[in-house]
Chains A and B, each alone.
Chain A
Amino acid sequence: MNRWLVPVLTLLLTGAALLSILAGTVWLTPGQTWDALLSTAPDLPGLIVREIRLPRIILGTLIGASLGLSGATLQGLLRNPLAEPGLLGVTSGASLGAVVAIYFGFASSFGLATPLFALTGGFVTAGIALLLARSGGTLALILTGVAISSITMALVMLALNLAPNPYAAYEIMTWLMGSLSDRSWDHVMLALPFVLPGLVILLLTARALDALTLGEVQAESLGVPVTRIRLMALAGTALSVGAATSIAGSIGFVGLMAPHLVRPLVGHQPGRVLLPAMLAGALLVTLADVATRTLIFGGAPLNIGVFTSLIGTPFFLWLILHVRRRTA
């Protein structure tokens, strides 16, 4: 199983991406898609494939990969199966940054403002969480993260209250539910320089996360610089998830669920969870994105974050109960 896991996940992800390029408001045949990829003509399939669906698939993959990988890293770092990017305040910090950028006019004055503000927000909250929890260890880090998330969400509400735009609250609620609709190559170009280094940094923690299976003291004695690893995990999360949040809003649950999906298949070793969790996250977001475009309930398409939580949570519960029964 182990040896096949990564190839199988890659294959599934490719399949989901293919489905995603065909499905949508306008359904395309594989032939049309192929022609559209090869041509540069501004006809309907060409524009849809090249300018709408390709960037959307790439964004979905990047965002899902960020969420899955950083969830797996944080769970390994904190040795807590409930850890996820949102827990450390990265998501809410990024949301705060984005809200400030969007509603106080920075976003319209220069294009990079939203992702930069969101990244800064993510970094600041993650940094504060780390600083406050420096002496306390893992539990303190988690509790501080929860506290900072709450404060940051309150600040988001405050920013919305003060926003000059009367539709801010409605818009931001939609945005916070996550969406990949109408994203373009511009967004890919904004996300890539942050997401890719973030993913690399996170992947580099693999060996250290394995050692942390034995606890921080033993890991330290095995030559693992635990403090630096903690910094890397947070910086990688802030970079990748911060950028992802700034582009697509907050897509909950993927960061929590993706590692759990693959963990039993790699013998629970935290370092080995990373790569499959990254692929699983990308797969989940890509599939959820296809679903939001094709399953329409009562005229309104679901937001992607709503979908991941709504469909994901029962499955997740089943998974937990199932795994517990099997190992107990």
Chain B
Amino acid sequence: MSDLILDHIVVRRGGRAILDDLSLHFPAGRLTAVVGPNGAGKSTMLDVAAGLLAPDAGAVRLGETPLPAIGRKVLARRRAYLPQRAGVEWPVNVERVVALGLTSSLPAFGALPDALLPAVEDALAACDLLALRHRSATALSGGELARAMLARAIVGDPELLIVDEPTAGLDPRHAMDAMRRLRTRADAGRTVILAIHDLDLALNHADGIVAIREGRLLAEGPVLDVVTEDLLCTLYDVRVRILRDADGVAVRFLDDRRPG
């Protein structure tokens, strides 16, 4: 299994640097959370990491190989990517949506080959979707849809999984559920990267943290070493207190302007 390395990445849009000389290392077998304020460049960085956006300068390598050298279809098999608010536009059933994750392995015509059926079964089972497999994807609840999309992403067992805001809009139980499933992927030796706003979830479930502000790297490393009140304060421009107890870590943002 291979690490993902971003090497001096620059992305400019309209003369402004969205990513400014960003070098990052995402080790295999780790769940890395990318945090930062809105507009920090998290999603752009994920697009570059996924090979969907060519940087203006710098290189991305999966293991030893630069992404552009891997080839569209092979890359699609080795890496899965879930954008923010991933959804489904036709009322296709869950089983078929999950099978779409295998698109790059399919022949040009015909039904799903028998050899690929077990992969779909495994992904459905891993995401608790067996009972919903014939349900139309447009009729799912938010939590169910998130599970279906995750199953779609992991059905091909990609070595690199990149997820943008997988917990947005989910209730606490479903959010924790999603984090646990990503954790399982990392524990199985895959490289897992996610952008996330919910710091409590990030601190309690991720192995590593990457903090980005205005397209620059602020801090990178294991969660417990890197995350301090000072770092979060600089990152978000808000006073922060980190509370630790037997149940884990919690972040409290303090509103200076609150009356009283």
Contact = CB atoms under 8 A, between A and B. Distances in A.
The reply to whether A and B meet directly (CB within 8 Å) is: yes
Given A222-B100, A269-B96, A214 B108 contact: no
Contact of B103 (A203, A217, A223, A268): A223
A210 interface: yes
B169 interface: no
Contacts, number: 75
B152 to A, nearest CB: 7
B89 A79 contact: yes
B184 interface: no
A270 B96 CA distance: 11
Question: Which of A218, A220, A327 gathers the greatest number of chain B CB atoms within 10 Å?
Answer: A218
B26 interface: no
Given A213-B97, A215-B83, A222 B103 contact: yes
B96 A214 contact: no
Interface in B77-102: 77, 79-83, 86-93, 96-97, 100-101
Interface residues of B, number: 31
B76 interface: yes
Interface in A297-328: 327
B216 to A, nearest CB: 25
Interface in A198-244: 203-204, 206-207, 210-215, 217-225
Interface residues of A, number: 25
A213 B100 contact: yes
A267 interface: yes
Given A79-B90, A218-B82, A269-B90, A223 B104 contact: yes
A220 B109 CA distance: 19
A206 B103 contact: no
Given A268-B90, A268-B92, A221 B100 contact: no
A220 B52 contact: yes
A211 B97 CA distance: 9
Contacts of A268: 90-92, 136
B50 interface: yes
Given A221-B81, A267-B93, A269-B92, A214 B75 contact: no
Interface in A71-99: 79
B90 A270 contact: yes
Contact of A211 (B79, B83, B103): B103
Contacts of A213: 88-90, 92, 97, 100
A223 B97 contact: no
Question: Which of B93, B96, B136 gathers the greatest number of chain A CB atoms within 10 Å?
Answer: B96
Contact of B76 (A222, A267, A269): A222
21 contacts: A79-B90, A213-B88, A213-B89, A213-B90, A213-B97, A213-B100, A214-B87, A214-B97, A214-B100, A215-B87, A218-B81, A218-B82, A218-B83, A220-B52, A221-B80, A221-B83, A222-B104, A223-B75, A224-B103, A267-B96, A327-B136
Interface of B: 50, 52, 72-73, 75-77, 79-83, 86-93, 96-97, 100-101, 103-104, 106, 108-109, 136, 152
Given A214-B86, A217-B52, 8 more contacts: A207-B103, A213-B89, A214-B152, A221-B79, A222-B104, A223-B76, A268-B136, A327-B136
